[in-house]
Amino acid sequence: MIDAKTILNRCDALANQSSTRTGIERVYLSPEHAAVNLQAGHWMQEAGMTTWMDAAGNQRGRLEGATPGLPTLLLGSHLDTVPNAGRFDGILGVMLAIAVVDRLRESDATLPFAIDVLAFGDEEGTRFGTALLGSRAVAGTWDDQWWTLADKSGTTLREAFVEFGLDPAKVGDAAYRSDDVVGYLEAHIEQGPYLEEADLPLAVVSSIAGARRFALTMTGEAGHAGGVPFHRRHDALAGASEVVLAVEQLAREAGAIATVGRLQAFPGGVNVIPGRVEFSLDLRAETDDVRDAVWAQIQDVAAEICTRRGLAFADEQTHGAPAVVAAPHLRDVIRAGITATTGEPDPMVLFSKAGHDAMAVADLTDWAMLFIRNGRGGISHHPDETVTEADVAVALDAFEAAVRAYAATYAA
């Protein structure tokens, strides 16, 4: 039987599949993605599943229910990473899903539904900027406009599909029909400090923040760092810096979350006034209305800065995902799983500020999530991401109990 130690060893094994010599980076449709699909597929087969890679590059495993052809419960998370990632974000959820299926098979559980484990290939959007590509294909919400998205080497998504051995024309084959599925459950590290502060191992997720990402450009006029007096300058970096600080202040005031994760000044000479700055914006909030109101305020502040400094501001949205709320009946099975495992009668409920594949799968079926404590203040998207073996053991028992609780209450 797969235990917590095995799961942690598997997370360590997958961490070795990185495009960088130091740190972990594994992006969609890369050789490293192919390698972890193969490894996860092997572990899925060991757990008694039939396995295949779907038309969007997601690795899948299937355990049939009591009789063939039953509708399917989806379990899963993602195997791709951000740059310089930790080893548990997404990966732990896929390993837990495989272990739950292994336990159900070993115990000859009679299931009223089949179970598909989905190892999504692109939750982060690291390579092409737009996130949730794998899970959106599964949900049937693929957008053909994405084919021309290009990575930093100029390879388009279409070219990357073909190089990976996929047929772009067949991406629609990855989609489920909504009446073929009975729900989606995902286990994931919290990526925040609240479980650690409460000294609890597990929580139920209530909802996931709505997110929008932008590519921003501030344009001014390059010039000599010595020769141009201040009153004549149109310094794009000074202007962009005012926007960055306004982003932080406006988001804090509104209870939203906003981050500028990437910024580059051009032409980039130490003795040249920056004429152009390209920077990113990741903006989220518990509701889409709050998120969008903050974006409108940011645009107003940027316009005032531009007028005052003689600059021009441009924005392009690169990703958008609406806030989604977990289905009460599936939240209940997650809650039941936690209670059955920890004895906690009223498990902690958390709103997820981190995005997850469930945001995309929500267009296909009802969903719920189990959060697992990750230590050191919930540090994530960082090599210091950490979980304890004890918490993984409790999470495995709770996730298995949740699936069994759903099976017990499910009526076709």
**Where along the sequence are the contacts to ligand HGY (CB under 6 A)?**
123-124, 131, 354-355
Please report, for residues 54, 92, 94, 402, 405, the alpha-carbon distance to residue 340 in angstroms, rounded to integers and kept in the order given.
35, 21, 22, 9, 10
Of 131 and 195, CB closest to ligand HGY: 131
Q: Which residues pair with 369 in a beta bridge?
A: 186
Of 124 and 235, CB closest to ligand HGY: 124
CB of 88 to Mn ion, least distance (A): 9
- From its phi and psi, is residue 131 left (phi > 0), alpha (psi between -120 and 50) or beta? beta
CB of 289 to ligand HGY, least distance (A): 20
Non-local (6+) Cβ contacts of 293 within 8 A are 254
Of 297 and 380, CB closest to Mn ion: 380
CB of 331 to ligand HGY, least distance (A): 20
Judge whether 62 and 90 are in contact, CB under 8 Å: no
CB of 355 to ligand HGY, least distance (A): 4
Of 102 and 124, CB closest to ligand HGY: 124
Q: What's the CA gap between 289 and 281, in Å, rounded? A: 17
Of 86 and 112, CB closest to Mn ion: 86
Size of residue set near Mn ion by CB under 5 A? 2
Q: Residue 215: helix, strand or coil by DSSP? A: strand
CB of 124 to Mn ion, least distance (A): 5
User: Any contact of residue 378 with Mn ion (CB under 5 A)?
Assistant: no
Q: Which partner in Mn ion, ligand HGY, none is near 355 (CB below 5 to 8 A by kind)?
A: ligand HGY
H helix intervals, 189-287: 194-198, 236-254
Of 168 and 375, CB closest to ligand HGY: 375
CB of 208 to ligand HGY, least distance (A): 9
Strands 202-208, 324-325: pairing is antiparallel
Q: Which partner in Mn ion, ligand HGY, none is near 286 (CB below 5 to 8 A by kind)?
A: none
Only segment of 88-96, 155-163, 233-241, 266-274 that touches Mn ion (CB under 5 A): 88-96
Q: Beta-strand (E) ranges in 108-222? A: 114-120, 181-189, 202-208, 210-219
Q: What's the CA gap between 253 and 232, in Å, rounded? A: 34
Q: What's the CA gap between 287 and 145, in Å, rounded? A: 26
CB of 356 to Mn ion, least distance (A): 6
User: Any contact of residue 89 with Mn ion (CB under 5 A)?
Assistant: yes
Please report, for residues 80, 124, 227, 385, the alpha-carbon distance to residue 121 in angstroms, rounded to integers and kept in the order given.
6, 9, 51, 20
Only segment of 23-31, 86-94, 315-323, 360-368 that touches Mn ion (CB under 5 A): 86-94
Q: Which partner in Mn ion, ligand HGY, none is near 71 (CB below 5 to 8 A by kind)?
A: none
Kindly state the DSSP code that residue 131 receives in the 8-state scheme.
-
Q: State both tokens at 290.
A: 């709050």
Kind and range of the H or E element at 23?
Answer: none
Of 123 and 242, CB closest to ligand HGY: 123
Of 131 and 405, CB closest to ligand HGY: 131
- From its phi and psi, is residue 386 left (phi > 0), alpha (psi between -120 and 50) or beta? beta
Q: Which partner in ligand HGY, Mn ion, none is near 187 (CB below 5 to 8 A by kind)?
A: none
CB of 79 to ligand HGY, least distance (A): 13
Q: State both tokens at 309.
A: 């400094």
Of 131 and 333, CB closest to ligand HGY: 131
- For Mn ion, the binding residue among 57, 71, 90, 121 (CB under 5 A) is 90
Q: Which partner in ligand HGY, Mn ion, none is near 80 (CB below 5 to 8 A by kind)?
A: none
Q: Which residues bind Mn ion (CB under 5 A)?
A: 89-90
